[in-house]
A and B are shown apart, each in its own frame.
Chain A
Amino acid sequence: MFRYILRRLIQAALVLVGVSVITFLLSYALPADPARMIAGRSATPETVEKIRHELGLDRPLPVQYFNYAWGLLHGDMGRSYVQKTEVTTLLKSRLPATIQLAVAGILFELILALPLGIIAALRKGKLTDQLTMVFAFFGVSAPQFALGLILLYFFGYRLSLVPLGGYGTLKHIILPGLTIGITGAGWYARVMRSSMLEVLSQQYIRTAKAKGVSKWAVVTKHALRNAILPIIAMIGLDIGIFMSGVVVVESVFAWPGIGQMAWQAIQLVDIPVIMGVVTVAAVAIVIGNLLADLVYPFLDPRIEYR
């Protein structure tokens, strides 16, 4: 067990090193000159050279990378070219909003998906099962931005139930959360269905049924506990999917998180900020995967870990 955890931790650390190398190389390969961007259009070539030297951009590539990695390890991601603020400060001010959105999104996904998956499993092969799964595909196939705007139109404008975007109260989070929920619930529902089917086919469920336990109790008390295990692991993997969609959802709902920040930075070619957000997102994804792997053996002692 200990060796398994240690091995997964080392793997995760290696992936993060790789991520930092690729992010660095990508930023280096971009057709944009940081020194000129900081200096501004009217700067003389001498000023640009001076800034280039101060940033260490005139040193060999490996040296630049080690400076970058050294900074990263100490929580230093450089300064925004545009706002001249530390990237870490910017990230810290934006992260709470994104984390709130992630929690709300995952909650909505579970609320929608678990009942759907269970119903589909119980009615396997029937029309209800097929309709539920088609519905799950509807969500997965919907473009988040259009869904978000349409939800805003109906619930924000027509029915005036929620504000038209923005941040602050519980009401603000409903639509962005729901948008993520609807588009993500499909995968959870499918996993829930197949996991439930697998559990329901096992001997101990037959025993419970034979004992005369009601169908409802068999499902909620006996089957659900085991069937939900893959869902818990999936939440870890879902962080990656969430991080990918965060730019779109945040820009539709004017949600002041790191996705919106990334989008603004991309438009201004503010490279340190883009790199910062990519790094934070990658760290979140790696931690999510790691949790999914580590949590599983604890939840299900039958699994062998190596």
Chain B
Amino acid sequence: MGSGRFLTRERKLALARFFRNWPAVFGLTVIVAIVFTALFAPMLAPYDPEEQFFDGLSLTGMPLPPNDTYLLGTDLLGRDLLSRIIYGARVSLVIGVVANGVALLIGILLGTIAGYFQGRLGLVIMRFTDLMMAFPALLLAIALAAILRPSMWIVAMVIAMVNWVQIARVVYSQVLSLRRRDFIQAATALGARTGRILFRHIMPHLIPTVVVWGTLGIATTVLLEATLSYLGVGVQPPTPSWGGIINESQSYFIDAPWLIIFPGLAILLMSLSFNLVGDALRDAIDPERSGSNV
């Protein structure tokens, strides 16, 4: 698809609507900042995130609160919290993108197959999503991650396995209604092959949906990854992850609340930004639905 056709008049209007929405612009700014931080972490971090500083602990061996040397304080091993949070952005972002990408792929594939071919195969796929909806997703993810020996990629796959369901359902209902539209009927009547109809005619219409759900999905994924790491079944130490920092320091939350508050804020900010942007995209693409959703 050429760039001229990609930015249709309709899509330009949608973009304009998006940028008039201040929460969305705020969210986008934060996302750009987080991506920048993750990319240039070695240059931005004041210290090595894994170095345990001798002067990073008090005389009684307690972590230091925020001060001039360690801007956000130090953790239980005397490591610089700010540097760990900066490097933690990498884990969050990579898992967010990978896990969500896989979930999108599975969701689009199964949703399209079920919606386009319907029949017995479609029925089986959709009944299977019904089943998955009845599972307590997080509980399942925790159990799987714990028993499969946690690593970054296992965590990403577990999250993808839990998160594709909703995307499949959205894509399914879209393909179902697209299929009945005149231009698809026309293409079929003209003898276009199934592959061509799917890739040239149906897929392009799914792009807005995929963009919206892709963005909203990252918000959920970031929270899920943080939760798994918090429970100790996510990304393993010494790799710094936001949830992991809270896991290591939770029993000291009374003496060292900064070790909970700052990583917590980082998770909140990232998830919030993707939610704001995703929601604004949804409104911009479909102004009729503005605000009405779940």
Contact = CB atoms under 8 A, between A and B. Distances in A.
A26 B22 CA distance: 46
Given A130-B22, A145-B246, A245-B138, A137 B268 contact: no
Interface in A149-170: 149-150, 152-153, 157
Interface in B235-254: 243, 246, 250, 253-254
Contacts of A234: 294
Tell me the dominant secondary structure on chain B's binding face. helix
A143 B223 contact: yes
A31 B147 contact: yes
B142 A146 contact: no
Category for how many chain A residues contact B: 35 or more
Interface string A250-289: 0110000001001100110100001001100110011001
A32 interface: yes
Given A145-B246, A190-B291, A244-B137, A137 B263 contact: no
B136 A285 contact: yes
Contact of B246 (A146, A240, A263, A278): A146
A133 interface: yes
Interface of A: 11, 14-16, 18-19, 22, 26, 30-32, 124, 130, 133-134, 137-138, 140-147, 149-150, 152-153, 157, 187, 190-191, 193-194, 197-198, 234, 240, 243-248, 251-252, 259, 262-263, 266-267, 269, 274, 277-278, 281-282, 285-286, 289
25 contacts: A15-B130, A18-B127, A18-B134, A19-B134, A19-B135, A22-B135, A32-B147, A138-B268, A138-B272, A141-B272, A143-B264, A146-B246, A147-B264, A153-B257, A153-B260, A240-B136, A243-B136, A244-B136, A244-B139, A248-B230, A262-B139, A266-B142, A278-B139, A285-B135, A289-B134
Interface in B249-273: 250, 253-254, 257, 260-261, 263-264, 267-268, 271-272
Contact of A146 (B136, B140, B260): B260
A131 to B, nearest CB: 9
B254 A143 contact: no
A145 B227 contact: yes
Given A19-B134, A141-B219, A190-B293, A149 B246 contact: yes
A22 B264 contact: no
B294 A187 contact: yes
A239 B233 CA distance: 25
B260 A244 contact: no
B143 A266 contact: yes
A242 to B, nearest CB: 9
A291 B291 CA distance: 26
A251 B246 contact: no
A143 B219 CA distance: 11
A130 B140 CA distance: 35
Given A130-B22, A247-B138, A278 B143 contact: yes
A30 to B, nearest CB: 5
A281 B139 contact: yes
A137 B246 contact: no
Contact of B147 (A19, A191, A266): A266
B231 interface: yes
B105 interface: no
Contacts of A193: 291
A35 to B, nearest CB: 17
Contacts of A198: 292
Interface in B13-56: 22-23
Contacts of A144: 227
Interface string B101-145: 000000000000000000000000001001101111111101110
A244 B134 contact: no
B230 A143 contact: yes
